[in-house]
A and B are shown apart, each in its own frame.
Chain A
């Protein structure tokens, strides 16, 4: 084994020990907790299948999908120019590059639910803060992934475009975008899956969709209904994922 592997192994063991202490975690405690009867798992065993046909649940789901759709389309489109500016080859100058990079890093470090907390505070509860959160979340995901691909493109066409006297924007559109387009679309579809998942939890902080209903039943300790909604959620995301995967495979 290399010294690096040994050092990393030690580091992992030490860091894990420290985190066990920090979170007051113990396997014995977990086993003990699992052995005790609890309302959540009792609800899972008798989950409320009628949620799958409950109109209130279904309309909350429609709202969730709508939020994910708008978030993906608006955020995903805004992400393309940002991704271009966030790469050395696509940025028109160093100032734009630095600003785009800093913006991307900050946006990427903020989790979806945190966006929702902030937007709920700004515009009140409902679908709107949910959509705004997903727009920012999508910008973070898609622009990061796309700019990673941009680092590996063929620079020949860029030189060719410069040699024809093309302006910077025209060069981006004709020499760079066609090279990353299929990856970018693939990321948009992936992003849609993420958004669907995210939009289901944003409701826990008041940002619309199915999460709001889950939160309602949770506060009422109605675990059978909570689990019913989770199952419904799983069925829908599973179908969307299959569909998206089908299109993504065709794109590559």
Chain B
């Protein structure tokens, strides 16, 4: 003990202060209480729908029975047809995403506040909002009389459904552009196309490409069920096998969808990471945070990842 006199002094003042310090009252947790009540009330209201829960009892044995029928003795002869239908779904999702990307870039320039006049920005953004709100399957229903019961209807439904989300993300990127490279291009006397090529695109491309890939993953899920209304892909077979209870084929169909979706996710996920992080796993462009492109971050910070269709997940 090097400073005994100081310790006693600290001790006495500590006791004084401890006596003086008052325990705070716990505040009323009004917010938490209100939220709980609202959730309970919503749930109670939801349960007043015509649900007929008694059917749940039968659901569990039915689930077991269906699984058994699906995989007891699968009808492998259906596999080639299912694989080629799944391939059509993937093709629909890909082509739809590509078309949406091509259309959304010029539209995004018209929706960016720093480039386009206000009335144009307003109109284009409302178009994006409307397109974002309508599920692909509904679009497909509406497009069938136009494009027929073909994969073309599926492509158009996916493309139109994705323009909203891709466009929104794209104009947000453009509005957040770093002025430095653009001014540098101007300073060396670049023409407008050159300025776009060297000042704007290098900043926009990685983020947009990465998000378009992500959108492709989402669109696979949407295109897998478009066939339910006859718009091409594996959905037609899925709905036939399940509705007519051809379980020994439905099981294989389910596995094909799951395996293909997981495989595409895995490949696409790798490419996205590579786009954002560069060859050695480090970020080439310090302005891009590799984690900022995660889906979770897009939603928390609301960066264009807003709902874009029923298949969005």
Contacts and interface: CB of A to CB of B under 8 A. Distances in A.
State the majority secondary structure of interface residues on B: helix
Contacts of A33: 146-148, 152
Nearest to A206: B243
A201 B135 contact: yes
A241 B307 contact: yes
Contacts of B62: 122-123
B302 A248 contact: yes
A45 interface: no
B243 A121 contact: yes
Contacts of B133: 197, 233-234, 237-238, 241
B137 interface: yes
A190 to B, nearest CB: 5
A12 B98 contact: yes
Interface size on A, as a range, is 35 or more
Contact of A122 (B50, B59, B232, B296): B59
A205 B271 contact: no
Given A148-B295, A241-B307, A249-B302, A24 B138 contact: no
Interface in B212-237: 221-222, 224-225, 228-229, 232, 235
A51 to B, nearest CB: 14
A145 interface: yes
Contact of A114 (B43, B94, B257, B274): B257
Contacts of B134: 230, 233-234
Contacts of B46: 66-67, 69-70, 73
A98 interface: no
Interface stretch (B84-92, B115-123, B165-173): B84-92
B34 interface: no
B151 A226 contact: no
Contacts of A220: none
Contacts of A24: 150-152
A66 B45 contact: yes
B238 A40 contact: no
A8 interface: yes
Interface in B294-313: 294-296, 299-302, 306-307, 309-313
Contacts of A187: 296, 299
A19 B41 CA distance: 49
A96 interface: no
Interface string A190-205: 1001100110110011
Contacts of B309: 197
Interface of A: 2, 4, 8, 12, 15-16, 18-20, 22-25, 29-30, 33-34, 36, 38-41, 44, 62-63, 66-67, 69-70, 73, 105-106, 108-114, 117-124, 126-128, 131-132, 137, 140-141, 144-146, 148-149, 152, 183, 186-187, 190, 193-194, 197-198, 200-201, 204-205, 214, 218, 223, 226-227, 230, 233-234, 237-238, 241, 245, 248-249, 252
Given A24-B152, A38-B145, A117-B239, 19 more contacts: A8-B209, A8-B275, A22-B91, A30-B152, A33-B152, A66-B49, A69-B42, A69-B43, A70-B46, A109-B257, A112-B225, A112-B311, A117-B228, A119-B59, A132-B59, A144-B295, A187-B299, A190-B307, A200-B138
24 contacts: A12-B98, A23-B91, A24-B150, A40-B144, A40-B146, A73-B42, A105-B262, A106-B258, A109-B257, A112-B225, A113-B225, A114-B257, A118-B242, A121-B245, A124-B55, A128-B52, A137-B313, A145-B295, A190-B306, A200-B138, A204-B229, A226-B141, A230-B138, A238-B133
Interface of B: 39, 42-43, 45-53, 55-56, 58-59, 62-63, 66, 87-88, 90-92, 94-95, 98, 129-130, 133-135, 137-138, 141-148, 150-152, 154-156, 209, 221-222, 224-225, 228-229, 232, 235, 238-239, 242-243, 245, 254, 257-258, 261-262, 265, 271, 274-275, 279, 291, 294-296, 299-302, 306-307, 309-313
